[in-house]
């Protein structure tokens, strides 16, 4: 049994509300495996960040996030000050219970609760990189936040907006696939100017540009097959000037890891990136839609310890 101070941050609305229904039995199992802990329930967007930050400042050594990638993103932001962790020695654990849960397709976290509680009890963790982005929020203000998985701009932001305002009853893959197909039909490609590492610059006509720490987003789209979560690099994938028929013909390769075979897909790595457009281009940040371009993104190497 662990002796560290543990706090659970629980999003009861994750996975269409099934997390809230599951929480009493999960809480019972966790107390039996881990001993006493505190638990905090989120009520609205942003709660997980504030609850995490308060728990860390009160002395929690392990924060367990129960929810999806959006909740995990909020919890991770609660770990971080503007440029560094609030408590570098503290550890994050993730119990995936969300619509997409793309992060665990890259990072070795089991879905099975018994195995996961045993890992938390053992306390084995690895350092991962985090991305940091500065962007414009929906009120027109400059803002910043961290991300653990993928930021994209263009179609990704449109898909997030569609998924988050419609039912997710059919699960992550179907919800994101349906939203992606509809968005392809009504979305217009954008002109986006990219500059990386104070060197390479190019304007792309693009459906979507992904800046990846992990490999998957959008409910299973393998957007960055070469991305590593702890190599200190951002993997950039540009889905370029495809015609609509070309998109639908090649759609399987966007999901099965063969995306780099497509001639109108461009890839490169960097440590920082700036993007802007004369058009209104929405952001996707770990499955959430917080604002729009322009954006500055950089990488914080080995910024956070997470149980795996």
Same domain, 84 and 150: no
Same domain, 118 and 135: no
Minimum mean pLDDT range among 22-31, 47-56, 169-178, 201-210? 169-178
Segment (H or E) for 34: helix 18-34
Contact between residue 6 and residue 38 where contact means Cβ atoms under 8 Å apart = yes
Total tally of structural domains belonging to the chain: 2
pLDDT in tens, 67-117: 999 999 999 999 999 888 999 999 999 999 876 688 999 999 988 899 999
Same domain, 96 and 21: yes
Residue 259 domain boundaries? 131-301
Segment (H or E) for 33: helix 18-34
Residue that is last in its domain, among 55, 90, 123: 123
State the pLDDT at residue 168: 54
Q: What is the phi/psi pair of residue 282, to 5°? A: -80, 150
Same domain, 149 and 191: yes
pLDDT in tens, 111-162: 889 999 999 999 889 999 999 999 999 999 999 999 999 999 987 666 666 5
Query: Encoding tokens for residue 95?
Result: 């119990």
pLDDT at 1 over 70: no
State the pLDDT at residue 83: 83
Residue at 224 is within a domain: yes
Q: What is the phi/psi pair of residue 106, to 5°? A: -100, -45
Helix-, strand-, coil-residue percentages of the chain, each rounded to 5 = 30, 35, 35
Vertex 177, ends 292 and 137: CA angle to 5°?
Answer: 15
Residue at 183 is within a domain: yes
Same domain, 189 and 109: no
Residue at 147 is within a domain: yes
Q: What is the dihedral of CA 288, 101, 146, 241, to 10 degrees?
A: -60
pLDDT at 177 over 90: no
State the pLDDT at residue 174: 63
If pLDDT is split at 50, 70 and 90, which confidence band does 16 have?
confident
Same domain, 112 and 138: no
Average pLDDT over residues 169-184: 60
Average pLDDT over residues 35-49: 95
Residue that is last in its domain, among 123, 145, 166: 123
Residue at 28 is within a domain: yes
Same domain, 182 and 208: yes
pLDDT at 176 over 80: no
Residue at 308 is within a domain: no
Same domain, 89 and 219: no
Q: What is the largest CA-CA distance in the chain?
A: 58
State the pLDDT at residue 268: 95
pLDDT at 183 over 90: no
Here the CATH number for the domain that contains residue 28 is 3.40.50.10330
Residue at 178 is within a domain: yes
Here the CATH number for the domain that contains residue 227 is 2.60.200.40
* DSSP classification of residue 140: S
Same domain, 170 and 193: yes
Distance CA 7, CA 39 (A): 6
State the pLDDT at residue 154: 85
Same domain, 51 and 168: no
pLDDT at 184 over 60: yes
Write the secondary structure of 159-198 as one string of H (helix), E (strand) and C (coil).
HHHHHHCCCCCCCHHHHHHHHHHHHHHHCCCEEEEEEECC
Average pLDDT over residues 47-68: 96
Residue that is last in its domain, among 123, 153, 184: 123
- Exposure class string for 112-138: b at 16+ Cβ within 10 A, else e: ebeebbebbbeeebeebbbbbbebbee
Same domain, 48 and 95: yes
pLDDT at 179 over 70: no
Segment (H or E) for 201: strand 201-206
State the pLDDT at residue 166: 59
The interaxial angle of helices 155-164 and 172-186, nearest 10 deg, is 120
Contact between residue 151 and residue 283 where contact means Cβ atoms under 8 Å apart = yes
Residue at 306 is within a domain: no
Contact between residue 173 and residue 149 where contact means Cβ atoms under 8 Å apart = no
Query: Encoding tokens for residue 112?
Result: 């099975």
Residue at 83 is within a domain: yes
pLDDT in tens, 208-262: 999 999 999 877 889 999 999 999 999 999 999 999 889 889 988 988 999 999 9
Pairing state between β 208-212 and 91-96: unpaired
- Give the closest residue to 148 by CA, choosing from 95, 74, 90, 254: 74
How many residues are given for the chain?
Answer: 308
Residues in a beta bridge with 212: 150, 235
pLDDT in tens, 270-307: 999 999 999 999 999 998 889 999 999 999 999 999 99
Same domain, 268 and 156: yes
């Amino acid at each position: 049994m662990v002796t560290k101070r543990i706090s659970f941050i629980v999003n009861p609305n994750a996975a269409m509300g099934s997390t809230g229904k599951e929480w009493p039995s999960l809480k019972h199992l966790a107390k039996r495996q881990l001993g006493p802990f505190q638990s905090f329930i989120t009520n609205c967007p942003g709660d997980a960040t504030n609850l995490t930050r308060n728990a860390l400042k009160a002395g929690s050594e392990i924060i367990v996030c129960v929810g999806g990638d959006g909740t995990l993103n909020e919890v991770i932001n609660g770990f971080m000050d503007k440029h560094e962790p609030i408590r570098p020695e503290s550890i994050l654990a993730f119990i995936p219970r969300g619509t997409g849960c793309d992060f665990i397709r890259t990072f070795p976290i089991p879905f099975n609760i018994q195995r996961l509680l045993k890992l938390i009890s053992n306390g084995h963790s690895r350092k991962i990189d985090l991305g940091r982005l500065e962007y414009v929020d929906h009120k027109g203000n400059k803002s910043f936040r961290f991300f653990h998985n993928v930021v994209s701009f263009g179609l990704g932001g449109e898909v997030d907006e569609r998924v988050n305002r419609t039912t997710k009853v059919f699960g992550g893959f179907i919800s994101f696939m349906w939203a992606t197909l509809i968005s392809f039909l009504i979305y217009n490609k954008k002109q986006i100017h990219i500059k990386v590492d104070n060197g390479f610059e190019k304007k792309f006509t693009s459906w979507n540009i992904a800046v990846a720490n992990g490999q998957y987003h959008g409910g299973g789209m393998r957007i960055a097959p070469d991305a590593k979560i702890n190599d200190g690099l951002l993997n950039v994938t540009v889905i370029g000037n495809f015609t609509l028929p070309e998109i639908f013909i090649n759609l399987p390769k966007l999901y099965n890891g063969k995306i780099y075979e497509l001639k109108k897909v461009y890839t490169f790595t960097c440590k920082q990136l700036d993007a802007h457009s004369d058009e209104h281009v929405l952001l996707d940040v770990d499955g959430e839609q917080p604002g729009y371009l322009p954006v500055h993104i950089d990488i914080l190497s080995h910024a956070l310890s997470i149980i795996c």
